[in-house]
Structures are given as structure tokens and as C-alpha cells.
Amino acid sequence: MRAVGTALLILLLFSQGTFGVTGDIVAQFATPGHCPTGLTFDGKYLWMADRKSDSLYQIDPSNGAVVRAIEAPGYRIEGLTMQDNFLWALDVEENMIFKLNTRTLVAEKTLYAPCDNPQGLAWDGECLWLADYRADMLYRISTEDGTTITELPSPSGNPHGLCFDGTYLWVSDRIDDKIYMVYPENGDVITAFASPSAFPRGLAWDGTHLWNVDYQSDSLYRIIIHDNDIYSRTDAKRQELEFTHQFRNYGPGTITSLDIYFAVPQDLPFQTILDTIVYTPAPTDFVSDRWDQRMAHYHFENIPAGGTVAASMTIAAELYKTRFHLFPDRVGTLDDIPEKISGKYLVDDTKYWVDDPVIQNTVESVVGDETNCYWIARKLYDHVIANMHYELAGGWNVAPTVLQRGSGSCSEYSFVYIALCRAAGLPARYAGSVVIRNDDASTDEVFHRWVEVYLPAYGWIPIDPSGGDSDRPADQAEAIGYLNNRFLITTIGGGGSEYMEWNYNSNEIWQSRGRCKVYSEHIGEWSPLPNSTESSE
């Protein structure tokens, strides 16, 4: 058994001057007790609560050594936070919060927790915060008498640790095994990353790094938050996609001219094209549209009644779970957007109707005088998911019609969100993809489209309003700046294309003589390839 007071430096990954990615562990120490729970920082030292020993430990963050150990003011301390020289401690057995003087060790005040299953504790400079892991709520309470001032939904189902960094709340979830950054004004989750181990509990902010204590690994972790890289990639998956476009003429007339276009995928933060794309048959030529989307072009003539034409492209790609680590205070304003971006991606188009009163009035009421590009995008996103639901009803209506109707497909969600963003002065475009459905060896005939918004200091960020249509703040945030490794993006478009029109992945344009009944089919067939070692960049 480890002796109390011993702290072992297990891992030091980064030396001074080396940068990492948000969520990277830069130091790990063994905890002085076997059941660590609450955690806080007093400006110089960490304080950690241990359930089994009923003790509070003051710990040197430079080496994990115990400076001193004191008796806890209760028998089951699950949350700690500092206010000046006072240590607030949450006892979940009695549902009481003690204000402990760290010099005299006298509990000078007690408050009753406002919920039945409290966890975590944080001080925001004026009030205390705590969570309820069964009610899935966050509470801001007065230190005068414990009165609840604010109630917010927790990011997900099992909040345990809390801390405040001066602007945002940080919340650990021991079932999701994630740590969430939460905007305390409304409960929006801004970013998230995987917790260092399987049972994250207490959190602390030391002014530069986030600290997490884990109940299962009995370890303290110092974690990078403000990073050098704007995104990270994990869980590389190698897949082969054969995408086929078939066209049939049932007649009785003749198709005099048929042009088929394949959107050619490219390397992106979300994917790497591994080899030369194979086209069957060889394309007639390659063209690019007004959005700089490159396409393989096929031209056919005089297809008789009963005739069938087929073309395919086969792509080997490595797909990643890609997460942009967005910090609103690092995102600039509308004035920071380059003119070449705004000049191209603020224009109106036939699906957007940017000047329509429905779009303009919505932007005015939702955005107000906000100028930060992140918050413009987030407010419009929150409005769309609160006022629409997914419905695949056929056809792609224009944005004002879809917004008033309150339902739409992924493409219609995209048209609405792009129209709103552009009306607010925020450049937006769409991405179209072929999707891995369930098994890696699968077929996709439905496909998926979402939005990309330009944020200064970050560039083009994926935002999927239809994918984020959920009541859970964590799920809502997952659709902002994150893409799973089941999408191969083929198409980046700002609006209607002279070749792709409003389609993505592929399109056909044809002319006929006489009456013709035509049918086209688009099939994506996935096959897994041997995977490389999982990557994290």
C-alpha cells in the first residue's frame, strides 16, 4: 500500500517550450489517497479530497508532493473550491457545504446544498456552482444562504467535477469520460475532450492548465487547454469507397446529350486521399466550378430507349475523428474576415433568399448587436435547432419556407443556416459527403450535407445543424467543430454550381428528343482497408 504523503511523478511529457493539443496531458502524479474526489487550486498549491481517508491534502503541483494533510470537515467530501483563504467543501452525505478556514481549520459557515445528489464545487468570484448527477443540472448558489440563483442543464448525464477559469465552467463527466467547457450564461457547451482516464472527478484551474483527479487511476493530471494546434485528429480509419452513378433511359425517345459530373474529394483536416482515384471508364475531362470544386466530367450522346450508362470512381482514404478546439475569445469579429472570403461567401443564391424578411428579421432578433463571429454562429445555430426538427419530405425548398415550416432535411437545414449566417455577415458554405452507415462494409444511398462557417483565427469550421438537433448540450456541441470518421467529403460548395447544380457527390444534366422517362441511381459502397496505427495530431 502507498504511504500517505507520497507523490510519485509518473509522467512528464512536455518540456518548457513544447506545444501540444487541447486535452494533452503534460504531467501525471499519483494521488496521496486511494479514493480521490474533489480538487481545487489556491493560487500556489492544489487541494485534493480523499473519501477513504476523510482527509484533505495540500499538494505541490510541480512534483505531486504532499505539503500537508488536514482532517476533512465532513465524512464524504466530493467537491472543493477556494475563495481567498477559505476552502469550500461539499459533503454529499449530509448535503452540506462547509466554509473552512485553512489557517485555523475552523468551519466558519455551513450551507445546505439545493439538490439531492450534489457533486463538484466551483467558485466564480461571486457565487458557488455545484452539479446534480441525477437531475443532470448545474446550480449557481448564493454564499449568503444557499439560495439558487441560476439553474442550467449539465452537459450530459453524470457531472462530477467542476471548476471556473475566470470565464468558463469546466465539467467532468464520469460516464461519457469527457471534460466539457461550458458557457455559464446559458449552459452552452463550447468544447470538449476525452478525460485522461476512466473516472474523472475533481477539476482545478491554475491559471494556465486544467487539473483533473481520476478516481479509477488514482492520478492527478495536468492538461493543456490553450494549445498551439487548432484541431486534433484521432481514430484513423482506412476505407475504400466505390461511388457509382447510373443513368437509364426508358424511352421511348432518345437522350441526345448526357453529362455526368463527379465531385473529386481532396485532402482536408478530416481526411487524407491515400492513392490516385480510379475512374471507370476514364472521364472525358476535368472541370472546376465557380466554387473551385474540381469534377470528373463524362459526356455521352444519343442514348436510345432501353440504354444504360454507368460511371464510377474508387477512392482509398483515411478518415479521422477531427475536433476543432474553439475558444470564443480567440475568434475575431466580422471586421477580421478577409475580403476574398466575404466577397465570395456572402452572396445570395436561389436556395437562400438572404434578403427575405423572414431571414432578415430572424437575424436581427437573434444576433442583435453581437460582433464576435463565434457567438454569431452559435446564436443562429441554437435558434435553428430550437425551432426546427428533422424531416425527410422530398424536395429542397428555399430557406425562408423551410424556416417557417420548422422542418427539413439535412440539405434544407444547411440552406437555412447558410442564409442566416450570410445575412448576419458571416461567410458560410456547405460540405457534401458519402457516409459509412453502421458497419465499415456498408452501402450509402442517402448521403449527408452540413455547413462550414468561416471563423477568424480558425478558418472553415464544420457546423451540422441537423446533426446537433438534440436536447443534450453535449450533443448540440458535438455538431460544432467536430466531424466523426464516417464521412468522406466529396463536395465543397457555396451555392448553386454550373455543373453540380444544388447536388453534391455527383450530378447529371441531360437533353432529349421525344418523350423520355429517365432514372438515375447513386450508390456508395464501402470496404474497410487495413488500418494504420491510430493517429493523434
Angle at 419 between CA 383 and CA 507, to 5 degrees: 120
- Give CATH 2.60.40 domain extents, the chain: 233-320+499-528
Strand 389-390 with 407-408, pairing:
parallel
Rounded Cα distance between 488 and 315, Å, is: 10
Predicted local distance difference test score (pLDDT) of residue 532: 53
Res 208: pLDDT = 96
CB 303 within 8 A of CB 309: yes
- Grid cell in block for residue 341: 472570403
3-state DSSP assignment of residue 334: helix
Q: pLDDT at position 5, please? A: 36
Q: Is the pLDDT of residue 228 over 90?
A: no
Give the contacts of 230 (CB within 8 A, at least 6 positions apart): 324, 325, 457, 458, 459
For residue 9, is pLDDT > 90? Answer: no
CATH 3.10.620.30 fits 322-493, yes or no: yes
Distances (CA, A) of 302 to 330, 437, 450: 57, 37, 37
**Cβ distance 13 to 27 under 8 Å?**
yes
Q: pLDDT category, 52, cuts 50, 70, 90?
A: very high
Work out the mean pLDDT of the chain and round it to a whole number: 93
Q: Is the model's pLDDT at 411 over the cut of 80?
A: yes
User: Region 86-108: what's the mean pLDDT?
Assistant: 96
What average pLDDT does this structure show over 195-222? 97
Distances (CA, A) of 507 to 138, 350, 445, 510: 49, 18, 14, 10
Nearest to 496 by CA among 341, 289, 264: 289
Burial class (CB in 10 A: 0-12, 13-18, 19+), 304: exposed
Whole-number Cα distances in Å, 391 to 395, 406, 434: 11, 9, 19
Q: Is pLDDT above 90 for 90?
A: yes
Cell matching residue 10? 509518473
Q: DSSP characters for 190-207?
A: EEEEE-SSSSEEEEEE-S
Q: At what angle do helices 410-423 and 357-367 cross, to 10 degrees?
A: 70
Under 8 Å CB-to-CB from 18, ≥6 apart: which residues? none
| H/E element, 378 | helix 373-387
Q: How many CB atoms lie within 10 A of CB 368?
A: 10
Q: Which residue has the higher pLDDT, 393 or 81?
A: 81
pLDDT in tens, 470-480: 889 999 999 99
User: What is d(CA 426, CA 374) in angstroms, rounded to the nearest whole number?
Assistant: 10
pLDDT digits (tens, 9 = 90+) for 243-264: 999 999 999 999 999 999 999 9
In residues, how long is the chain?
Answer: 537
CATH code assigned to 233-320+499-528? 2.60.40
CA distance 35 to 43: 24
Helix (H) / strand (E) element for 505: namely none
Q: Name the pairing type of β-strands 86-91 and 407-408.
A: unpaired
pLDDT class for 392, splitting at 50, 70, 90? confident
Predicted confidence at residue 3, as pLDDT, reads 34
281 upstream amide cis, omega within 30 of 0: yes
Cβ neighbourhood burial of 297 (10 Å; 0-12, 13-18, 19+): middle
Q: What are the backbone angles phi and psi of residue 496, rounded to the nearest 5°?
A: -65, 140
- Residue ranges, comma separated, of all CATH 2.120.10.30 domains in the chain are 9-229
CA distance linking residue 225 with residue 191, whole number of Å: 10
Does the pLDDT value for residue 537 go beyond 60?
A: no
Q: What percent of the chain has pLDDT over 90?
A: 92
pLDDT (0 to 100) of residue 468: 87
Q: What pLDDT, on the 0 to 100 scale, is given for residue 4?
A: 34
Fold for the domain defined by 9-229: Neuraminidase (2.120.10)
Portions of the chain given CATH number 3.10.620.30: 322-493
Q: How far apart are CA 90 and CA 130, in angstroms?
A: 9
Consecutive H or E run containing 294:
strand 294-303
Beta bridge partners of 83: 86
